[in-house]
Amino acid sequence: MSIASKTKAKRIFDLYEKHKVKGHLVVELFGPDGKLKDRREMENTITVLHDATVADRMAGGTDALIDYTGIGTTSGGKSTASTALEAQVDRNQNDSNTQGAGADDNDVIHVATFAAGEGTGALVEAGLFTGAADNTLQAYQDFAAVNKAAGDSLVTTWTITYGAS
């Protein structure tokens, strides 16, 4: 490959990386006393359905926006083409969906709380959805078990970054 071809390939790759949609998930488990018991941070997978949702909205369409988070007890088997979690045990409307500020204005932060008694068990997957009960998986992540007892609460914070402005 010539130097000109390598340079062109690098520019294309850099452009792709600049405009890539990236997700980051923080999962926090709190005991009945409100004290943090477990905290996980990880990158997550963005689905092709999310790509289509964003394109629809940018073109003036009416696809629903992300407003729900689901959690489940079975991992694996998902891909960027997946539309649902493997074994969802609960899905809640998000507490908030906000745009970042300043240099982070290309971020959207989705926060959801699963209170005591909601979605208990060995949780190993989470996903973002546009609807309360449909197959509209926008982003997901599998992780090592977070053991949520009946008295515990769980907070998920997803940051979806659009490009690298």
Task: Report the number of distinct structural domains present in the chain.
Answer: 1
Is 46 part of a structural domain of the chain?
A: yes
Q: Is residue 5 one of the residues assigned to a domain? A: no
14 within a domain of the structure (yes/no): no
**141 assigned to some structural domain:** yes
Q: pLDDT by residue (tens digit) across 63-109?
A: 999 999 999 999 987 888 999 999 999 999 999 999 999 989 999 99
The reported pLDDT for the residue numbered 138 is 95
Residue 3 within a domain = no
Six token digits for residue 110: 């989705």
**Mind listing the pLDDT tens digit for each residue in 42-60?**
999 999 999 888 888 889 9
Residue 6 lies in a domain: no
Q: Please indicate, yes or no, if residue 8 is contained in any of the structural domains.
A: no
Range of 128's domain? 21-162
Output the pTM of the full model. 0.87
Predicted confidence (pLDDT) at residue 30 exceeds the cutoff of 90: yes
Residue 16 domain flag:
no
